[in-house]
Structure 1
Amino acid sequence: MRRVAWILAPLLLVGCAAEESEPLHTAVTTVPAPDPFAELAEAVAGIEEDTNTEVGVALYDGSAMTEAGSLDWLPAWSTMKIPIARAAAEHCGYGKEYVSELTEAAIEWSDNDAARALWDCMGSDKEAAEKVGAEIAKSGSHVRVNGAFGTTRWSFAGQARYAYYLSQQDQDDPVFADMHHIAEDQAYGLGQLEGVPFKGGWSDYEKDGSWHTRQLGWFGGFGVAVGARSADGSYDDTMDALDQVARLLKTSVPETG
């Protein structure tokens, strides 16, 4: 994450004899480049205070993980539909055209019945969970997927790692194409950033009455996972939080070639 700039100091010649008999040495000074995420934690804390939410942010560039916010994880909710769709494309016994239709509905509109159909076509809950877990594990992130797949515990760091893995795959993948056409009413947060493929998930949490909203996506060479929790059960507050996080990341993530 930190870049190093190399600065060559001027050569100093000490007498002709030294010049003839001793090798010249180049003094090298390393200067750390500015860290684009140096103020991320403070900025995210400000968003939490402003929106009365808890927030989690993780970015992974293939070598370093950056995290900020009060949250380390949330249930996956509908973000799990991405690895489900990719696993189904490999293992589902339905016809290719039907799988494509289900995938489009599951991702673009977040249709739960379509996602369940993709899940069921991979076998029993145990078999489907193993296949989806294996898909996520391709990224080096390991998740124990539940039969009630939306409730699966998925850390932001693990999801950012998976998102980075997806960013390195063939971008002509139909799943990724669908991620560029998310329904307008779901296109907040990362959906406010032009050209960014993403998928969101959201739900109330019956155990404590809170509301959760989270998203995964990638841009600028980073896999990104973000989420917000409203203890008051406010969907609007979590959307506001993710909108602010997206604007923050837009200005923080370094421009790439």
Structure 2
Amino acid sequence: MRKRAVVLAPLLLAGCGAGGPGEPLTTPVTTVRAPYDGLAIQVEKIEKDTHTEIGVALYDGTTLTQAGSLDWLPAWSTIKIPIAFAAAEHCDYSEDTVTELTEASIEWSDNDSARALWDCMGSDEEASKKVAAEIAKSGASVKVNGAFGTTRWPFAGQARYAHMLSAMNPDNPIIADMRHIDDEQSYGLGQLGVPFKGGWSDNEADGAWHNRQFGWIGRVGVAIGARSADGDYDATVEALDTVARLLSAGTGS
């Protein structure tokens, strides 16, 4: 029987790598270019309707488009994808073991499985470098923490990574796992039938709730996230659902 999805264990989250509680998660408004003209206004409305802060980044291989008041959130479980790719290259477990751990880590976001993949790549320092090198293949630079869920992963860089993955063989086992996410986690991008991975957690420093996802629609890399200052999980789900539908219409999916 599959384990139910759980919030990342304290082992992964100890020592928030996202900065202190007073560090802002915002950036100046980014100009949105066609074909997403009007996206910023629509995302701002979703923020008001759901009482959340939202971040959106889209990358089509040429143009990076951003909207919303958030530029980044901690990676949470979205970082399990580059961990899986790095482990496939560097882990010395048997192929069957790596496959089993990867499926559990991605499809129902099992934390123990993700930690096992991480540990098989050496020390925290060694694993951090290998996962950072995997992300860097997309042209984005991320400093990966030992408590890997707390890694600060900007939406812009994650959209670039998603675009890179969109060009891979869809039969790749990790890509295939991203198409079989547990139904309980299949909100937001999960409504669209596209490969994706989500990550979520409360923030002990300020009581907020974070929820983020990345994947791709066609060949457009997508990273979205929502933060509820009130700690409202349902509000972040509603925000991601609405943003995903908006993006699906904008990309012609």
TM-score (norm 1): 0.85
Question: Gaps (5+ residues) in structure 2?
Answer: 1-32
Cross-structure match for 1:173: 172
Q: Secondary structure at the match of 2:209?
A: strand
In structure 2, what is the equivalent of residue 211 of structure 1?
209
Q: 8 Å contact 2:54–2:68 — kept in the other structure?
A: yes
| Residue in structure 2 matched with residue 142 of structure 1 by the alignment | 141
| Matched letter for residue 43 of structure 1 | Q
Equivalent position amino acid for 1:247 in 2: R
Where does 1:21-170 land on structure 2 (aligned, <5 Å)? 35-170=34-169
Q: What's the offset of the Cα at 1:168? A: 1.1
Question: What does 1:219-234 correspond to in 2, within 5 Å?
Answer: 219-234=217-232
- Secondary structure (helix, strand or coil) at the match of 1:110 reads coil
Residues 137-156 of structure 1, C-alpha deviations (whole Å, 9 max, x = no match):
00000100000000000000
How far apart are 1:36 and its partner, in Å? 2.5
8 Å contact 1:58–1:67 — kept in the other structure?
yes
Q: Which residue is 2:186 aligned to? A: 187
Question: How many Å apart are 1:113 and its aligned residue?
Answer: 0.3
SS of alignment partner, residue 70 of structure 2? coil
Structure 1 regions of 5+ residues with no counterpart?
1-33
**Code of the aligned partner of 2:71:** D
Distance 1:156 1:90 in 2: 25
SS at match of 1:62: coil
The correspondence for 1:201, drawn from 184, 199, 202, is 199
Instruction: Note the C-alpha offset of 1:250.
Output: 1.0
After TM superposition, the score normalised by the length of structure 2 is 0.86
Confirm whether residue 248 of structure 1 aligns to residue 251 of structure 2. Answer: no
Structure 1 or 2: more strand by fraction: 1
Which consecutive segments of 4 or more residues in structure 1 shift more than 2 A?
A: none
Out of 246-255 and 69-78, give the one that drifted further.
246-255
Aligned equivalents of 1:165 and 1:187: distance in 2?
22
* Higher gyration radius (CA): 1
Structure 1 contact 106–114 (Cα < 8 Å) conserved = yes
Larger RCO (alpha carbons 8 Å, 6+ apart): 2
How far residue 254 of structure 1 moved from its aligned partner, in angstroms, is: 3.9
Deviations 1:65-89 (A, max 9, x none): 0000000000000000000000000
Contact 2:166 2:218 in 1 (8 A): no
What letter matches 2:190 in structure 1?
A: G
Tell me the SS of whatever aligns to 2:201.
Answer: strand
